[in-house]
Amino acid sequence: MNAKNLLIGLLLSGISYNGIAQVDFTKSTRGTDGKQRSAVLETRYLYPRKGKFFVFWGYNRAAYSNSNMNFSGQGYNFNIYDIRATDDPTNFSSVYFGLTKFTIPQFNYRIGYFLSDKNYVSFGSDHMKYTIVKQATRLTGTISTGVNDGVYNNTEVLVGEDCDANNPGPNSLDNLPKGFVSGFEHCDGLNDFSVELGRMEQLWISNNHKHAFAFTGSVGLGMVIPDTDADVLGQPPKHDMEAGKKAYHLAGYSASATMGLQLDLFNRVYVLARLKGGYIDLPDINTTIYGGKASQHFLFIEPMVVLGYSFYINTRHSHKKA
């Protein structure tokens, strides 16, 4: 199943879900005077959330739909089509636990506040990674600089030949013209800084009201600030890994939706597994030191597992009835 179909399924599932846990079960009867009366048979308690702050940290994987890309700069303006890309996960190791290295993998963090026992607002970042793979594509446009000088009209070329991710090594693709986009990756993060509005629907609460299990969903809007390393026509990239020079830049925006399952423990700690999907549009990507630009847009799917902590700043709170 591709990223587009998964995103559609995510959105439909989030829209169609209808929580049923927080209710008073009642029985209606008619009295001897003919008036309708209702008696509460059972009350289910809400896990106390209103007024709480929460934070979480965790790790993700990501998948992307194919995208068309435009590259422009001094002496060139061309498009390449249907470009495949992948994330770049870090192998599980001590890096995930080191105090100076735990931000190297693809990570997520978020801080939020519960407006009620069900509704919340939050802000945070999704640090994904994005790299194109070695592949054949079609190129259309003009190039008036370097060895690839010419006018191209749907010409088959090779791109991503220097990328590490899923690179099969030398093969028949190497016979195609190359050196156009030898590498392209949002290497130090496809960083999505977003605001989310969310809702919790309780599925279970323990008898002592200290533990709970809930469905959660949200919608969000964000700004995308990638650090892009691009090898375009052999020109020096804006990002210089050897010199430790980053190229963070506000390149575009995102729109997203999430759904997940959350297990709360001891009114403080929680574990959340959630699936995020959305759309990213990057019309202003920095590529070369000579002012080169790129643009693209794509869909994404991002599963994640996070560990969180919730707390009150004002400690006065009580259990709530539905």
CA–CA separation, 15 vs 13, rounded Å?
6
Q: What are the per-10-residue average pLDDT scores of the chain (322 residues)?
A: 53 39 52 61 80 97 98 97 94 75 87 97 97 97 96 97 78 93 94 98 93 98 96 92 82 98 97 98 96 97 98 67 48
pLDDT of residue 14: 41
Q: What angle do CA 56, 60, 65 make, to 5 degrees?
A: 135
Rounded to whole angstroms, the Cα distance separating 232 from 217 reads 40
Closest CA to 258 of 210, 199, 212: 199
* Nearest residue to 85 via CA among 255, 296, 235, 232: 296
What is residue 236's predicted lDDT score, i.e. its pLDDT? 93
Nearest to 264 by CA among 48, 115, 59: 48
DSSP 236: P
Give the separation between CA 194 and CA 35, rounded to whole angstroms: 53
Q: If DSSP codes are grouped into helix, strand and coil, which group holds residue 180?
A: coil
Spatial separation of the C-alpha atoms in residues 104 and 112, rounded to whole Å: 24
Q: Domains of the chain: which residue ranges?
A: 3-7+51-316
How far is the C-alpha of 52 from the C-alpha of 50, rounded, in Å?
A: 6
Of 195, 46, 56, 192, nearest in space to 120 by CA = 195
pLDDT of residue 287: 96
Distance CA 290, CA 3 (A): 34
- Per the listing, tokens 């190297």 go with 104
Enter the pTM of the model. Answer: 0.85
